Structures are given as structure tokens and as C-alpha cells.
Amino acid sequence: MRELKTMTLQQGMDFKEANMAYLQDLFGGDVAIIKEMITLFLDQTPKDLAKLGQNIVEKDWEGTHRMAHHMKPTLGYVGAEGMRREFEQIERMAKLPEVPVDELSHRFQMLSPRFETLFEELNVYRDRLS
């Protein structure tokens, strides 16, 4: 039987975007699974962001809606609730009869530095897991 490695929140890890408590609770503190989930997030999310950005540039509102909807739960898994709420707004705006293109584009652009911060935080967190 595989021995389950568990961890607790480490001091000095007060992040701006990420809150790992949800992921820890979800997987019972299993370090291997948490590392795997973070790695999957870090591998897939930049691709999803690129696709979402492309959909916005091309004014593909159905594609924008689908990608925003797809990305919301993954942001919740890493505790990025503020960012998840922004994706709810993008998702909602993409379904409006008259899409507010400038506002939607602006919201998406404002998320870019937040994703950079989130990716940095997740890398630090993953590297500190024992």
C-alpha cells in the first residue's frame, strides 16, 4: 500500500492570487496529487489563455464563452477566486446580444499580469512542497 504524504500550509506563503487551501482540502493534503494538479494547471492554462485571446481578437463570442467557461473551475482549484469571477464576467459578456468588445478586451488584458503572478506563486508553492 502506498504511503500517503501529507502537508499543511507553510508559513511565509501569503500569495496575492493563489490560495492553496481549497486544493489541499480537495486532495486531503496529498503532496503528489497537489503537485500533479499544479503542473497540469501550469502546462495547460497558458494554452487556454492563448486560445481565449485569439477568440476575443477574432470576435468569436461563442468560442470566447466556451473558453471562459472551461477555465473558471481550474482557477477555483488553485484558489484564484478573484480571477475566476473575472472569467464569469467575460463569459457573461460574450453571451450578450451586443457584446461590449472594448470592455471585454480590457478585462482580458488586465488579467495578463495577474496570470503572471499566479504562475509565479504556483511555481514557488509547488517547489516548496516536500
What pLDDT, on a 0 to 100 scale, did the predictor assign at position 13?
65
* Within a domain: 2: no
Number of structural domains in the chain: 1
* Within a domain: 13: no
pLDDT tens for each residue of 26-75: 889 899 999 999 999 999 999 999 999 999 999 999 999 999 999 999 99
* Within a domain: 33: yes
Q: Tell me the pLDDT band of 15, cut-offs 50, 70 and 90.
A: confident
Q: In the predicted model, is pLDDT for residue 5 greater than 70?
A: no
Question: What is the distance between the alpha carbons of residues 29 and 103, in angstroms, rounded to a whole number?
Answer: 39
pLDDT tens for each residue of 77-94: 899 999 999 999 999 999
Q: In which domain, by residue range, is 41 found?
A: 21-128
Three-state SS string over the chain comes to CCCCCECCCCCCCCCCCCCCHHHHHHCCCEHHHHHHHHHHHHHHHHHHHHHHHHHHHCCCHHHHHHHHHHHHHHHHHCCCHHHHHHHHHHHHHHCCCCCCHHHHHHHHHHHHHHHHHHHHHHHHHHHHCC
Predicted TM-score (pTM) of this structure:
0.86
* Within a domain: 6: no
For the chain, give the percent of residues with pLDDT over 90: 76
Output the domain CATH number for residue 107.
1.20.120.160
